[in-house]
């Protein structure tokens, strides 16, 4: 029996917001309808900033993007619609389903901040996992796992704009 295919894992450091914007542009070029972007990291790690740049890269209005902590779910119009959830206050996958996330994210890009709070059986073929951590000043350490459908292809994160 062949060994299971694991998602490609990349680790790198984003030096500033411009580097975060470039990562978002690369993600925007690679995501497909139905994909899920699972974001984790401590408060202030840049999860919402990454979503703002991603919506912008997809042709949406970045000014509309806010942390959905109190409203839990936002929808952003873009060439690939974005369904943005903050799972920090959710008790589990049942709460996510109760928001209508599955139906809303069909044919869209689902983005879940604090994804570990709703750990459930998302299909590995469509899941992007992004963990952001403080690395000093404006720097962020990123661990990125791509969906299985990419079969080990790496996301190119340019060093310069």
The tens digit of pLDDT for each residue in 53-98 reads: 999 999 999 999 987 667 789 999 999 999 999 888 888 888 888 8
User: What is the domain class of 9-107+118-150 according to CATH?
Assistant: alpha beta
Domain boundaries, the chain: 9-107+118-150
* d(C-alpha 21, C-alpha 27), whole Å: 10
Q: Count Cβ atoms below 10 Å from residue 120 Cβ, excluding itself.
A: 10
Q: Is the pTM value of this prediction over 0.85?
A: yes
Q: Which residues of 101-118 are buried (b: 16+ CB within 10 A; e: fewer)?
A: beeebeebbbbbbbbebb
Q: In this structure, are residues 26 and 155 in contact, taking their beta carbons and an 8 Å threshold?
A: yes
């Amino acid at each position: 029996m062949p060994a299971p295919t694991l998602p490609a894992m990349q680790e790198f450091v984003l030096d500033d917001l411009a580097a975060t914007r470039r990562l978002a542009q690369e993600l925007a070029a690679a995501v497909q309808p139905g994909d899920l972007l699972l974001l984790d990291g401590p408060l202030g790690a840049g999860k919402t900033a990454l979503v703002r740049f991603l919506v912008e890269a997809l042709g949406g209005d970045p000014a509309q993007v806010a942390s959905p902590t109190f409203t839990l779910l936002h929808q952003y119009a873009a060439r690939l619609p974005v369904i943005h959830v903050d799972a920090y206050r959710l008790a589990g996958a049942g709460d996510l389903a109760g928001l209508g996330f599955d139906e809303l994210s069909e044919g869209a890009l689902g983005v879940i901040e604090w994804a570990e709070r709703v750990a459930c059986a998302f299909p590995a073929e469509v899941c992007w996992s992004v963990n952001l951590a403080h690395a000093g000043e404006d720097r962020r350490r990123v661990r990125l796992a791509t969906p299985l459908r990419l079969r080990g292809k790496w996301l190119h994160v340019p060093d310069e704009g």
